[in-house]
Structure 1
Amino acid sequence: MCDPSGIAQFIKGIAEIAQGSSKPSVMPVWCRELLCARDPPTVTCLHPEYDQPPLDDNKNVFSKPCQASFFFGPKQIHALRRLLPLHLAQSSSTFDVLTAFLWRSHTAALHYQNPNEEVRLMYVVNARFEPCRSTFNPPLPEGYYGNAFVCPVVVSTVGMLCGRPLSYALELVKKSKKAATEEYVRSTADLMAMNGRPAGSLRRSFVVSDLTKSGLSDVDYGWGKPLYSGIDGIYDIPGACYYFPHTNSKGENGKVVLICLLEEAMKRFEKELNGILHIKDEDEPIKYLSNL
């Protein structure tokens, strides 16, 4: 029916009515025809997010999946930017820097045996927001609450990703974001129509969804803002990763990263992060949520 942005719009509208408004400040817009396939459908872009990579050669046997959360505040993001050339550190968004770092760390934690194996980063780009929104003519109307996202893919070999500086991964992320245009969205819709809505492949993939701007943390039904906003767990999908706004016990604003990994890989992932960022216990780098 709708994506996270549509869900957030609905919840915020209900909260406004609960506080006495006669209608939501942003009225819902149906207009599903705006993102229907073209006639005739024509796939004009490459869509590796729907390719099925071969089975992994990785022979490691891990224990069951588990979930964890990591806090990235100003100090942690500053530490990541110091790993980059000055021009990239100054011109890159926090999302780009953090995503490149986590993708690289995630790949290192999985201990792939073959450095020539390809791994992928998939991340959600919403057509309502920049940079995708500025390519739509006209933009999607305010209040559109259907599904309006695509998942561009970045591909690299394990050896290139883990053996090169962080700037290599960052450049890939930034290049792929530029490909998320209106034409890419139209091409995705056409692919859905022609191929019967194929499922995206999560094999060898690190999947990121940034929900820091969903607005859910500001929802108020009349008794105050929520202590937490976001998903209830991240399911049994190793490699799935979500960003949410968070304020730690020191009052520092930042992002909390929720991630699911197999248990042994999670231990290595935590070690990878702490080793690069030099995090101390008092910095609250990790809070385990649950074992699945």
Structure 2
Amino acid sequence: MPSPVAAFTVGDGSSLTVERSIPIAVQPEHKTPGGSIFLTSIDHVDHILVSTVYCFERSTENAVDVVKQALSKVLVHYYPLVGRLGKSSEGKLIVDCEKKLGVPFVEAVANCDLDSLGDMSILHPDVLGKLVYTDSTTQNMPEIAPLLTAQVTKLKNGGLILGIAFNHCMSDGISAIRFINSWAEIARGEPLSVVPYHDRTILKPRMPPQICGPYDDFVQLSDESNMTALYKKEQLVCRSFHFDSEKLAAVKKMATACGQGKRSITSFVALAALVWRTRSMALKMKPHQQTMLTLPVDFRSKLSPPVPDGYFGNAVVFPCCLCTAGELIDEPISSTAERIIEAIERVNEDYARSRIDYLDRYGFKEFSLGTLLVSSWTKLAFGSTDFGWGEPRQFGTGGLQTKSCLFLRGGRDNKDVVVVLELPFSAMNTFQELLQV
């Protein structure tokens, strides 16, 4: 009998105590441009706060001041982050750079060291709320709500956690980590390796719009399996599943074992195929239930000319695989992997421009429960987040969305993959039983 993948339920952090200072507004060190920043239809898709933590096992005595001063310097280059959301004359979201309200910055002290916090890859909301500062009083007031917040929490034995809350309309993961790494470069006394590019009008919709297929990507799935009732009835559970190199090799072998694959398969594609299939089974989808897998694909290099290297914004689209649950469960995983590869390969300039036009005309519609969004952060350059006392030992996030699955790097050498998702209690137990390699 194969052994199941190690699974971890997120702790509630009830024993964690954090004392915070009153937030101060950090402003750019020098005068920055006013006016406004155009936001694209892709930026409009999601303007929720995305919280992340960077966990360092050692720091310096003046670490808080180093981080704060470097933030003031980097905001000269990333000046839109000190502004606030506004509306254009057409009623579209913009960044109002006249409202220089700054970035709230909080100093904090915790009652523990990094080792006692355990696995930080995915955080319970209560833990996240202690390590990442957000202002709940501005949540429904975008005109004054900060686009970025920062909290530095000092731990026992010299450890430190940097907690960030980023408004997703400002950047995708690539742009966000580039900002963090630029911040770290300045803290180390180095010049920026990449200068940010703020003109988002290069991704304006075409006039008239030119919306073309594949139309599967626009399908709204009906709930033929009554999953909605299950999600309402049961407690939602978030767990992480760790795949080391041996388990990843086993998953890739499964994805090629039946000889259906026409080309080499990456660990990401193999894992995505396995998780999509297993989730569909765990949710007891009926054979005729339509199910969809979607994944973010960076299109910066797909345009002609390419999107500038320092582009600060969202530049991803979400190609989809659509089939019935019966087809998904009956076919070999190699065939599912092939579906995913074909979806990724569909992303070219025409595809990206078509999706921009579609979102501008029709807006974004929430994914149904039959859809799984798989997002991988394993290739993001977290290792460059060195503020002068070494790379982070752990990286974590929280606020996982119900229809999402996140792939993170894990293990002491960051070569493992941590798969994180949320399911109703009974479905999660079934998922864990089925997810064996």
How would you bin the TM-score normalised by the shorter chain? Answer: 0.7 to 0.9
Matched, 1:241 2:405: yes
Question: Residue 75 of structure 1 aligns with which residue?
Answer: 246
Counterpart residue number, 2:298 = 126
The residue type equivalent to 2:237 in the other structure is C
Q: Specify every segment of 5 or more residues in structure 2 that has no aligned partner in the other structure, as ranges.
A: 1-169
The answer to whether the 8 A contact 1:49-1:201 is kept is no
| Cα pair distance change 1:230/1:38, threshold 3 Å | farther
| Alpha-carbon contact 1:50-1:200 (below 8 Å) kept | no
The secondary structure found in structure 1 opposite 2:435 is helix
**How does the TM-score come out when normalised to structure 1?**
0.84
How many residues get paired? 263
Residue 45 of structure 1: CA displacement?
2.2
**Equivalent position amino acid for 2:201 in 1:** E
Tell me what 1:284 maps to.
none
Q: Please tell me the residue identity of whatever aligns with 1:91.
A: S
For the pair 1:4 / 2:176, whether they are aligned, the reply is no
Query: Is residue 57 from structure 1 mapped to residue 225 from structure 2 by the alignment?
Result: yes
Contact residue 49 and residue 200 of structure 1 kept, 8 A: no
CA distance in 1, matches of 2:330, 2:235: 28
Whichever structure has more strand as a proportion of its residues is 2
Query: Which residue identity is paired with 2:326?
Result: G
Corresponding residue for 1:285? none
Q: Distance in 1 between matches of 2:260 and 2:215?
A: 30
Runs of at least 5 residues in structure 1 that lack an aligned partner in the other structure:
278-292
Deviations, residues 1-31 of structure 1 (Å, cap 9, x unaligned)? 211111111111111111112x421100112
- Render the CA deviation track for 1:222-269: whole Å, top value 9, x for unaligned: 1221122242341xx333111111125xx5722111111111111111
Match of 1:32 in 2: 200
C-alpha separation between the residues in 2 aligned to 1:28 and 1:143? 4
SS in 2 for 1:103: helix
State the identity %.
29
| 8 Å CA contact retained: 2:282, 2:430 | yes
Shift, 1:89, TM fit: 8.7
Structure 1 Cα separation of the partners of residues 398 and 223 of structure 2? 30
Q: What residue is the counterpart of 1:158 in the other structure?
A: 325
TM-score when scaled to structure 2? 0.57
In the alignment, what sits opposite 1:100? 273
CA contact (8 A) 2:409 2:418 kept: yes
Higher relative contact order (CA 8 A, sep 6+): 1
Where do 1:77-92 residues align within 5 Å?
Answer: 77-83=248-254, 84-85=256-257, 88=261, 91-92=264-265
SS of residue in 2 equivalent to 1:91: coil
Q: Kindly indicate whether residue 365 of structure 2 is the aligned counterpart of residue 194 of structure 1.
A: no
> For residue 423 of structure 2, what is the aligned residue in structure 1?
261
**1:156 Cα shift?**
1.1
Structure 1 CA distance for aligned equivalents of residues 330 and 406 of structure 2: 25
Cα 1:66–1:14 shift into 2, 3 Å: same
Residues 1:89 and 1:56: Cα distance change in structure 2 (over 3 Å): same
What is the CA–CA distance in structure 1 between the aligned matches of 2:288 and 2:223, rounded to whole Å? 14
CA contact (8 A) 1:81 1:89 kept: no
Q: CA deviation at 1:51?
A: 3.3
**In the alignment, residue 422 of structure 2 is paired with which amino acid?**
C
Instruction: Say which is worse superposed, 156-165 or 55-64, in terms of deviation.
Output: 55-64
Work out the CA distance in 1 between the residues paired with 2:369 and 2:217.
10
In 2: Cα distance, 1:230 partner to 1:150 partner: 24
Quick check: 2:261–2:335 contact (8 Å CA) kept in 1?
no
Which amino acid letter does the alignment assign opposite residue 220 of structure 2? Q
Deviation at 1:47, TM superposition (A): 4.5
1: distance between equivalents of 2:263 and 2:350? 29
Show CA shifts across 1:107-133 (max 9, x none). 111112x211110001111113xxxx2
Partner of residue 304, structure 2: 137
CA distance in 2, matches of 1:19, 1:252: 23
Render the CA deviation track for 1:73-114: whole Å, top value 9, x for unaligned: 2211221232224573961111111111111111111112x2
Which structure has the greater CA radius of gyration?
2
- Match runs of 1:110-125 below 5 Å: 110-112=283-285, 114-125=286-297
Residue 153 of structure 1, CA deviation: 0.8
CA contact 2:225–2:284 (8 Å) conserved in 1: no
* SS of alignment partner, residue 88 of structure 1: coil
Q: Given that residues 273 and 337 in structure 2 are in contact (C-alpha distance below 8 angstroms), is that contact kept between their aligned partners in structure 1?
A: yes
Q: Residue type of the partner of 2:193?
A: S
Matched, 1:214 2:380: yes
3-state SS of the aligned residue for 1:106? helix
Cα deviation, 1:126-151, whole Å, max 9, x if unaligned, reads 113xxxx2x32221111111110111
Offset at 1:198?
A: 2.3
Distance 2:251 2:377 in 1: 21
